[in-house]
Structure 1
Amino acid sequence: MALLFDLLVILFALAGLAAIGLAALLAAPLKVPPPLGSVLDGALQIDPEGLPELDRFQARDGTWLAYRRYPAPHGAGNRIALLAHGSAGASAQMNAIARGLCNAGIGAVAVDFRGHGASGTRGDAAYAGQHDDDFADLIAELRARDPEAELAFVGHSSGGGYGLRVAAGPLGAAFERFVLLAPYLGHRAPTVRITDAAKGWASANVPRIIAILALARLGIDWPQALPVLAFATGPNSKKFVTDQYTFRLMASYAAPDDWKAAFGKARAPIEVISGADDELMDSAAFARVLSPLGVRVTLIPGVDHMGLCWRQEAIKAIVAALNA
């Protein structure tokens, strides 16, 4: 009996230590990186001229989510490109691309994905995977307006990574093709640079993420509402951008864990476009690792990460990819 009591004491002590350890990991502060000039300056180059007012649709949970419509010129075809912004961004980030597509006869819909812009609670989602439900609801909304429309997907950075998730999943069947602009494929992907600039855009709270994942295995999911990712957006841009992500938003608006397998599961052709001077992604690595998977990769000389959203040579490449 005494031995059993001693074992119980040891087990309770270990459980207590584990709880204290997890609590300490959860309490680890989220460090905010200093502003990253190349991204912020690039964002300011995006021309706001012709930016449409926000439209809204109601997602299945009752939340009203925002997007911007760019109808193709009268007499053009019924092609619509759905545009996905990068991390911390919103639909206005895709304005130059959307207008360029319209000039080429392709309609566009730029989305404020939940947790960004005017959609939902800034920096949060209700659960990991909610963006897939939202996106399905948006597609249904667009189909109700134009049942015969041919849909394409264009996503930048984290929006490109999310586009790969869409392409490999059930929603991929709704699209004719995918154009991914310097897609963020996850921190382990060889396409992510390890330079100071690349590391300086986002700061992850690794101890907190470890604790959240451990608690999820025990069926405890409330810590997923805690912020785990901070972006180098600068203190004066908080009202314009999403400067932090909770765990569930980070997990929802992201590329699949197995990005290589996802390319093989894609339901439609994928083209990757990257600037040769991208400071966050390794453009040469895109060509090296994706070409053997049958993915067409286009590199644009003299263009950096944000330049893909406003440089005319980048917009011409996007139009060409959609017309391929």
Structure 2
Amino acid sequence: MTMTLLTSLLAIPVCYLALASLLVCIPVRKQPVVDSLDFDVLNGKADNLQLSEQTYVSRSGSELFYRFIAGKTNTILVLLHGSGAEGRYLLHPAQKLSIATEISVVIPDLRGHGRSSQKTLGDIDYIGQYEDDLEDLRLHLSQQYPNSSIILGGHSSGGGLAIKYAGGDHVAFDGYLLLAPYLGYRAPTVRPNSGGWVQVSTRRYIGLTMLNNVGIKLFNSLPVLFFNRPKEWSDPLQAESYSYRLNESFSPQAYEKNLQKNNKPVLVLVGADDEAFYAEKFVAVFSKNAPHALVKIIPKVKHLNLPNNEDTINIMSSWINSIYQGH
């Protein structure tokens, strides 16, 4: 009886690991997708842009790349790009915002993206590394520009990362500017597969989560999320997929707790015609979890042209001037 019970108990972890391994090893095939984000709305190049290209050294010893638009005030906005991208598409709105408010704007290529791809596009070293990188960037900027107010902003997944950072155990930024922020796949604001922009290997994701639950991280570099980007918008700086550890680091897992913990000024802007998210549901989410946040829905604006929209620029400028004027 005792031996039978012992055998049964030993069989449980063996079956658990076998199932997890099977889910991880099943081949992933990217399916053809008809609908995705409207890339045709991306337009406008920054004219006569005065910027410098710089790096900072993270705690891991890696040099991470960012673009810097210098302003005249003691306010700095760190503006994070969305998933699968890098910072170039944010240059035009960053230039407009800097001209309107005279603030400085920092546009990083996050680790595993663009010119901060240390090893492989779409991968990082460990879960949680993005929050460490952002804390290192904040420290770098505060040392370079003492007595400055530093705002953390982001578009789409970049906004989600800003929310995740704000709700963690880190030295806070002085405010948060969120453009159509991704709140995680469980959030009511998210359309299925983000409107066709992403394809998730659900079985592999479940298997890797099971392995991580028992401390096995050996396979966290495997890709689990794939982007549906038109071929004409692809180039060597655009990530085609994300590893498990990158995606876990980029996406909020507890957006409600993250929002509730953040007591800094927050601005949230979403396009009414956003294909990735349900714009109308952001108001309820933030009213419940961050009632101090200012939330605005901008008519006739989609997901990708939100940052560069004139109404977006005007609202961001007014918000920055009203809170950080004189800094």
Same structural fold, with TM-score higher than 0.5 when normalized by the shorter chain: yes
Amino acid of the structure 2 residue aligned with 1:65:
L
The reply to whether residue 179 of structure 1 matches residue 177 of structure 2 is: yes
Quick one: distance in 2 between partners of 1:239 and 1:39? Answer: 21
Shift of 1:10: 5.7
Partner of 2:258: 262
Identify which of 188, 191, 214 aligns with 1:190. 188
Amino acid of the structure 1 residue aligned with 2:105:
A
The reply to whether residue 243 of structure 1 matches residue 243 of structure 2 is: no
**2:79–2:107 CA contact under 8 A, matched in 1:** yes
**2:196–2:276 CA contact under 8 A, matched in 1:** no
Partner of 1:127: 126
Amino acid of the structure 1 residue aligned with 2:283:
A
**1:179–1:321 CA contact under 8 A, matched in 2:** no
**1:179–1:322 CA contact under 8 A, matched in 2:** no
Quick one: distance in 1 between partners of 2:50 and 2:244? Answer: 31
3-state SS of paired residue (1:313): helix
The 5 A counterparts of 1:84-99 are: 84-99=80-95
Could you tell me which runs of 5 or more consecutive residues in structure 1 were left unpaired when the two chains were aligned. Answer: none
**1:67–1:109 CA contact under 8 A, matched in 2:** yes
Identify which of 44, 51, 74 aligns with 1:78. 74
Partner of 2:154: 155
Q: Decide which moves more: 285-294 or 137-146.
A: 285-294
The reply to whether residue 276 of structure 1 matches residue 275 of structure 2 is: no
**1:181–1:272 CA contact under 8 A, matched in 2:** yes
Shift of 1:39: 3.8
Q: 1:64 to 1:291 in 2, by over 3 A?
A: same
Quick one: distance in 1 between partners of 2:228 and 2:241? Answer: 9
Shift of 1:85: 0.5
User: CA RMSD for the aligned pairs?
Assistant: 2.3
3-state SS of paired residue (2:114): coil
Could you tell me which runs of 5 or more consecutive residues in structure 2 were left unpaired when the two chains were aligned. Answer: 323-327
Cα deviation, 1:199-225, whole Å, max 9, x if unaligned, reads 411111111111111111222111111
Q: Decide which moves more: 219-228 or 7-16.
A: 7-16
Shift of 1:235: 4.5
**2:135–2:171 CA contact under 8 A, matched in 1:** no
Amino acid of the structure 1 residue aligned with 2:115:
A
Paired residues in the alignment total 314
The reply to whether residue 141 of structure 1 matches residue 157 of structure 2 is: no
Shift of 1:174: 3.1
Shift of 1:13: 5.9
Partner of 2:23: 25
Partner of 2:325: none
The reply to whether residue 299 of structure 1 matches residue 297 of structure 2 is: yes
Quick one: distance in 2 between partners of 1:14 and 1:283? Answer: 44
Quick one: distance in 2 between partners of 1:5 and 1:296? Answer: 63
TM-score by length of 2: 0.88
Partner of 2:111: 114
TM-score by length of 1: 0.89
Quick one: distance in 2 between partners of 1:14 and 1:258? Answer: 30
Identify which of 65, 81, 97 aligns with 1:101. 97
Partner of 2:64: 65
Q: 1:51 to 1:310 in 2, by over 3 A?
A: farther
Partner of 2:206: 210
Q: 1:39 to 1:128 in 2, by over 3 A?
A: farther
Quick one: distance in 2 between partners of 1:267 and 1:71? Answer: 28
Quick one: distance in 1 between partners of 2:229 and 2:171? Answer: 32
Amino acid of the structure 2 residue aligned with 1:242:
A
**1:35–1:232 CA contact under 8 A, matched in 2:** no
**2:46–2:95 CA contact under 8 A, matched in 1:** no
**1:36–1:233 CA contact under 8 A, matched in 2:** no
Amino acid of the structure 2 residue aligned with 1:110:
I
Q: 1:323 to 1:291 in 2, by over 3 A?
A: farther
Partner of 2:228: 232
**1:172–1:268 CA contact under 8 A, matched in 2:** no
Shift of 1:147: 0.8
